[in-house]
Amino acid sequence: MITDTHRRVTIRFALPPRGLAPNGSFGFWPGHARAAKAYRTECFWDAVLWARNHEPQAPFVIAEIALAFVYCQTRRLRRYCPTDIDNAIAATKPLRDGLVDAGLLVTDTAQRLRFGSVTISRHARHRSGEGCPGSAVVVTLREVGNAA
């Protein structure tokens, strides 16, 4: 039976590398696999570090994942800043793999993981002397079921 357990965590990750932009935007296809592997490892460690600083979490069995891309339009970023939702979702496949690797998700198959809101927003231009809050993919996992 599927019941909402109300468990929810929010974790901040780096934006995907540019190599995960759709083919043809930056570089060539062979770089894609390498970028995906690097980003998966990066997200794994971000999730592990997050877990060390929070209450222990059993893996989410059936979950909804929300993605909030936030990036700066003032700074020149070496990361992929998606402008459409489909590409944003595709570029975070390694992030989802990293969440599984880190033990936060049981799996990222469609039966067990569904998408919640996916948003893309940019910082307004910063005034001089104003700090930049940084660019990130903010991931919120919500457990919507815990049946095995």
Which spans of this chain sit near Zn ion (rule: CB under 5 A)?
Answer: 72, 123, 132
Beta carbon nearer to Zn ion, 8 or 18: 18
Task: Provide the minimum distance between the beta carbon of 9 and Zn ion in the complex, in angstroms, as a whole number.
Answer: 25
- Least Å distance between CB 81 and Zn ion? 11
User: Phi and psi of 112, rounded to 5°?
Assistant: -110, -15
Cβ contact 125:3 at 8 Å = no
Q: How far is the CB of 78 from Zn ion (least distance, A)?
A: 14
Q: With respect to Zn ion, which residue has the nearer C-beta, 38 or 72?
A: 72
Specify the residue, 93 or 123, whose C-beta has the smaller distance to Zn ion: 123
* Whole-number Å distance between alpha carbons of 61 and 63: 6
How far apart are alpha carbons 16 and 147 in whole angstroms?
Answer: 32
Integer CA distances (angstroms), 84 to 35, 68, 118, in order = 20, 12, 10
Complex with Zn ion: residue 93 or 122, whichever CB lies closer:
122
Q: Which residue is nearest to Zn ion (CB)?
A: 72
**Rounded (10°) CA dihedral 5, 6, 7, 10:** 150
Q: Give the shortest CB-83-to-Zn ion separation in angstroms.
A: 16
C-alpha triplet 52, 58, 59: angle, nearest 5° = 100
Residues 57 and 111: beta-carbon distance below 8 Å: no
| Smallest separation (angstroms) from Zn ion to the CB of 128 | 13
If the CB atoms of residues 58 and 132 are measured against Zn ion, the closer one turns out to be: 132
